[in-house]
Structure 1
Amino acid sequence: MASARNESAVTVRDVAQLAGVSPGTVSKALNGQGQLREETRQRVQEAADKLRFRPNQVARSLAEGRTYTVGMLTSDSFGRFTLPLMEGIEDSLGAGKVSTLLCDGRGDPLRERHYLAELLNRRVDGIVVTGRRPDARRSVGQLPIPVVYVLGRSDDPGDLSVTNDDEQGARLAVEHLVAHGRTRLAYVSGPAHHLSTQLRQQGFEAAAAAAGVEVADVLLGRWSEAWGRTAAQMLARRTGGAVDAVFCGSDQIARGLTDGLREAGVRVPVEVSVVGFDNWDVMAEAARPPLTTIDPRLVRLGRESASRLLAAIDGAELGQGVVAQPCELVIRESSVPT
């Protein structure tokens, strides 16, 4: 207890005295401000470390007009998308010692407005908005602080949205299947009105046309394993090997589809290759066989969105429109016959 009291009692003046500089120089050195020689910054830092000096963050916030906190507003109660995004966000914010306040709006507009008001009352320096899936979402409107949308893009083109490139991811899947000799491809995905379904279908069909292979079927349903099993039954009823590869709009659908094909006596990937989307490890690695899939690289999306937000907080232009980051193909056993 005595040690804790001694550490908390250390002041800027104590550090200045040990380092042989003024208190103002200590503040500039520890906050990365001012035109100081590197030797001086190093001497101040060594003195602060020796005395175990902890800057008063409240005083720093008042002096700089910042709270060093960022709000994260999500509708993803399950956390499937929010957790990896937050990992990336905290990777970027942690270097600047900025804290994150997570608020789950649960897709409820009233709850979301409450959290926005609360975040503004807490004087956060900026806000990251995300959701359950990479689909368009309603803008939170013009706020007095920078706002970045990640994964789910804002419906306002004046906002900045950082998301994965669904079309490019679908092209990766098709190119991989074609490279392994597949020529009759099907697309099985979620609801037709979802933007991610539409973009992945566009990429799928464009890549198939470019490769000169057949689009044998397009089946749209729900984001679920049950729908994947149903789609597998529909495809398995066809005679004459009508389909030799399937690109699924999610790993959940792909896992259900591989189960359904196996139950119907269709061998994956010997007779039909399967590629999913999301690289959700609990789905992809536990599938039989493990799923080849498209990774939207959510952690990287989180890092990118937070980096842009920090730059805007520091005075840079935030920008607007959609920034689409490329996806990555992760190859497992469901697509390549051995």
Structure 2
Amino acid sequence: MSPAGTFSTALFSVPVAYAFGLTDREDDSCYVPDSRMAGRLAGEHLLSLGRRHIAHITGEAADTATTGRERGLLSSLAEAGLAPATGTLRGDWSRVWGAAACHRLIDSGARFDAVFCGNDQIALGAESVLLASGRRVPDDVALVGVDDWENVISGQHTRHLTTVDMGLAALGAAAAAQVADGRGAPGTHAQPCTLVVGATTAGQRPGA
């Protein structure tokens, strides 16, 4: 998932704050998830589990969410003296792409023991291919997604997929509070996110 698009508030005469969207005016206030933080959280979590060969499958290259999450992952790997297992695999945000990209990753022959996926749909597609190939998740390959849609959609608070919750409720509340207050700092306000640990990383710790 990524910010919905770029808008303009030039015609508005009342306080406006954008939640999960960007505008083309520097004096507008935009509240968006901290995508770089999401990538860092995922990378740091996988590293803490002893994973050292981390691949990345994600969405469109021009998307700000894509670039932020990738930069966060790369910075966490660099601080550990590591590089990604392969170049970033970029496509769309679908489960179909996640499966296709995972096939490509396996066929490349690259060594990998974890995959950070740009969203949960990509992660679920990748998981289906990993399991079909005989790889165990998470013992052989750990998976992390982004969005926490499993819980949002089902409402059952399950914990199958390890993911990053982008904190959309708090993001919306922050934007609404600024509108109610009638003033606020212009610019883009990156809101913090949190890691939600599930079964796709909670298995056996591999050797380094």
* Fold similarity call, TM over 0.5: yes
Amino acid at match of 1:175: E
The RMSD of aligned alpha carbons is 2.0
Structure 2, unmatched stretches of 5+, are none
Amino acid at match of 1:319: A
Q: CA deviation at 1:193?
A: 1.1
Q: CA deviation at 1:281?
A: 1.9
Matches within 5 A, 1:313-328: 317-328=183-194
User: Partners of 1:284 and 1:271 in 2: how far apart?
Assistant: 28
Q: CA deviation at 1:234?
A: 1.3
User: Partners of 1:152 and 1:259 in 2: how far apart?
Assistant: 32
Change (3 A) 1:318 1:282: closer
User: Partners of 1:185 and 1:305 in 2: how far apart?
Assistant: 35
1:223 maps to 93
Q: Deviations over 1:11-54 (max 9, x none)?
A: xxxxxxxxxxxxxxxxxxxxxxxxxxxxxxxxxxxxxxxxxxxx
Q: CA deviation at 1:318?
A: 2.7
User: Partners of 1:176 and 1:212 in 2: how far apart?
Assistant: 16
Change (3 A) 1:152 1:264: same
User: Partners of 1:135 and 1:170 in 2: how far apart?
Assistant: 19
Give the number of aligned pairs: 200
Q: Deviations over 1:175-208 (max 9, x none)?
A: 0000000001111100111111111111111111
Secondary structure class of the residue paired with 1:216? coil
Structure 1, unmatched stretches of 5+, are 1-131
User: Partners of 1:320 and 1:141 in 2: how far apart?
Assistant: 14
> Would you say 1:333 and 2:202 are equivalent positions?
no
Structure 1 residue corresponding to 2:146, chosen from 261, 277, 281: 277
- On the 8 A contact 2:9/2:28 being kept in 1, the answer is no
1:93 maps to none
1:305 maps to 175
Q: Percent identity?
A: 35
Q: TM-score, with normalisation over the residues of structure 1?
A: 0.56
Higher CA-based Rg: 1
Amino acid at match of 2:18: Y
User: Partners of 2:24 and 2:51 in 1: how far apart?
Assistant: 37
User: Partners of 1:220 and 1:295 in 2: how far apart?
Assistant: 21
Amino acid at match of 2:65: S
> Would you say 1:200 and 2:69 are equivalent positions?
yes
Q: CA deviation at 1:171?
A: 0.3
- On the 8 A contact 1:248/1:276 being kept in 2, the answer is yes
1:180 maps to 49
1:235 maps to 105
- On the 8 A contact 2:17/2:179 being kept in 1, the answer is yes
